[in-house]
Amino acid sequence: MNLKPSPFAPEKFPTLPAVAGVRAATGSRGFYTSRGLERDDVFLFHFDAGTSCAGVFTRSATASADVLWCRDALAAGDGKASGLVVNSGNSNAFTGPKGVLKNDATLGAMVDALSTEKNRCFLGATGVIGEPLPDPNYVGSIIPDLAEKLSDPDWEACAKAFMTTDTFAKGAGFVRDIDGVQTAFSGIAKGSGMIAPNMGTMLAYVFTDAAISPELLDLALREACGLSFNAITVDSDTSTSDSLMVFATGANGAAPISDRSDPRFEAFKTALNEICLELALLIVKDGEGATKFVTIDVEGAVSSDSARTIAADIANSPLVKTALAANDANWGRVVMAVGKSGEPIDQSELSIWFDDVHVAAEGARAENYDEALATAAVTKPEINIRVRVGGGPGSSRVFTCDLTHAYVDINGAYRT
């Protein structure tokens, strides 16, 4: 499948900091050989002893075997991690007992190669649903070779290894001063379609050398997810494989953050929120066939949850998204999407802006409505839609993209 690069693709992959206590390697297991592609499609990460981890995963009732394993391992391993293996090309979802056998073989290979415990090994997979692998050890067989190649992560190589319909590798990272200690954060993500997360989206992994307890890491990750990966949508479809995990090695030399009242916890959360949002927005900007990046702000709702529902309904509306793709300032479709949400609103106060162009005011078309100005606003590659639905305290922000014919082309050819 030849994919046209996203118009929002960065000129180059960013330079991400090394994270003490993290090593990685990539390799090819041949998932894409039948499609005539020679590329890496598996990565292995190894973490120093004592690494804390946390994760949030899809709420899909058809979650993959890998997701089910990670949930169990987080609980059984007390939030500690030694290794992570992720492959693209096959999601290991809806594969029944064969999917469990694949996981058992992969985990066994990790335990042997990394000299660790099974419950401290984590898995991820992305690709076609419902296709069992020809051999349970298909992924596990490459683990020994990858373990021998472990070194400081080549972040770009890792980000490329789990791409599917992505048109560019996604990474973000920085170093932050937390109470006088330089703390590194680096993250990679993949995702382009099947994006309407109900936890985190597709696959995203964040690595830091911060020292923090698993309990507080979990708390921080859930907050970060709500502000980032749970605030994006491309096509309203929640994947069977959605996984967002963070690994904190504690190798920065600081005393562990283990109390919510520790002022370093707020600084840590700020940094984690930032990197998660950066990664999440890269996914939206690489939405399958996308030509527009759209921010939707809803205010005046009865609650923040209500505002989120309204914003998501606007973001997920095919009619809104196709209008934006065609540079059509059809604000009536936004009115429709607000109404179908089922959330309480005050129609007499419903107002809509495309960027700073007032198109609807207090339940009707704005008196100074100018079609040319509205069209100019939605013709730009980055668009803000602001909606006021009443006088309540609730507000929310959701990020999405337009819906073009290229989305149909990409997904019509996904398995060919």
This prediction's pTM: 0.92
Q: Where are the beta strands (DSSP E) in 91-163?
A: 121-128
Check if the beta carbon of residue 197 is closer than 8 Å to that of residue 306: no
β-pairing verdict for 351-354 and 357-361: antiparallel
| Fold adopted by 293-412 | Ubiquitin-like (UB roll) (3.10.20)
Residue type, position 352, single letter: I
Catalytic residues: 201
Sorted by where each begins, the domain ranges of the chain are: 22-285, 293-412
pLDDT computed for residue 413 by the predictor:
58
Q: Where are the alpha helices (DSSP H) in 177-327?
A: 214-227, 263-285, 304-316, 318-325
- H or E element, residue 331: helix 331-340
Which pLDDT tens digit goes with each residue over 286-311? 877 789 999 999 999 999 999 999 99
The answer to whether 16 touches 206, Cβ cutoff 8 Å, is: no
Read off the pLDDT of residues 10-39 as tens digits, 9 standing for 90 and up.
999 999 999 999 999 999 999 888 777 889
Q: Which residues of the chain have pLDDT under 50?
A: 199-201
- Rounded Cα distance, 210 and 196, in Å: 30
First to last CA, the chain: 7
293-412 has the same fold as 22-285:
no
CATH number of 22-285: 3.60.70.12
- In sequence order, what are the residues at sequence separation of 6 or more whose Cβ sits closer than 8 angstroms to the Cβ of residue 245? 53, 54, 55, 70, 84, 122, 124, 204, 205, 206
Maximum CA extent, the chain: 71
User: Which of these, 69, 40, 65, 245, lies nearest to 145 by C-alpha position?
Assistant: 40
pLDDT of residue 123: 98
pLDDT of residue 200: 47
| Cβ proximity of 320 and 333 under 8 Å | yes
Average predicted confidence (pLDDT) for the chain: 93
| 70-97 pLDDT tens trace | 999 999 999 999 999 999 999 999 999 9
